[in-house]
Chains A and B, each alone.
Chain A
Amino acid sequence: AQTVTQSQPEMSVQEAETVTLSCTYDTSESDYYLFWYKQPPSRQMILVIRQEAYKQQNATENRFSVNFQKAAKSFSLKISDSQLGDAAMYFCAYRSANYGQNFVFGPGTRLSVLP
């Protein structure tokens, strides 16, 4: 079974600074997808960024980018120019490319943004 680990229960960053959230995962599969989801106090999970394992190029979405190291099974999220609205729980998630598989989530990292 796949597992997802986030070793940082809490992180903080100054507004306008850069922060990196860590994620590692364990799988024996070669084809899969990785995600970062944001869960603000409103509780609604919002997709931040997605990475296909077969792509070597790291995904980027505006201020959000990932560092995907497939051999190391590492998938970190970098948030640049942090904004107060970035404060939330961040979950790393894995989904097998096999048909019918659902998401496996990590335990989350609570990010605080300091003004």
Chain B
Amino acid sequence: ETGVTQSPTHLIKTRGQQVTLRCSSQSGHNTVSWYQQALGQGPQFIFQYYREEENGRGNFPPRFSGLQFPNYSSELNVNALELDDSALYLCASSHRGTPNEQYFGPGTRLTVT
């Protein structure tokens, strides 16, 4: 167990809808990163939040957005869902000073129909 939890475990949405995924980081971890893992592929970096501000983004459009809260929880929001958004979404928490120590959650499986 990594101490990182995600909810929900599974989710089914319709194209065009909006979705919010949640992550609860390890206590004391002030940095959270989100990854998208399409079926049969490795995780792709979406963005990172540090002290409630976006601190780096991968090659994802603005309809992917996030929030980080002072209680070490965070959200990933995706607007205008597309079929290609179907994937496993992973969050990983770490402390700013130890970026190599990233602890992953079990992920949320999103299916867009």
Contacts and interface: CB of A to CB of B under 8 A. Distances in A.
Interface in A1-42: 4, 33, 35, 42
Contact of A50 (B33, B43, B58, B100): B100
Nearest to B2: A44
A57 interface: no
Q: In which size bucket is the chain A interface?
A: 20 to 34
Given A50-B100, A108-B42, A45 B90 contact: yes
Given A45-B90, A50-B100, A100-B55, 7 more contacts: A43-B88, A43-B107, A46-B104, A102-B48, A103-B102, A105-B43, A108-B40
30 contacts: A4-B42, A35-B100, A43-B106, A43-B107, A44-B104, A44-B105, A44-B107, A45-B43, A45-B90, A45-B92, A45-B104, A46-B2, A46-B104, A47-B102, A50-B100, A91-B43, A93-B42, A95-B99, A95-B100, A100-B55, A100-B56, A101-B99, A102-B33, A103-B33, A103-B45, A103-B102, A104-B45, A105-B44, A106-B42, A107-B40
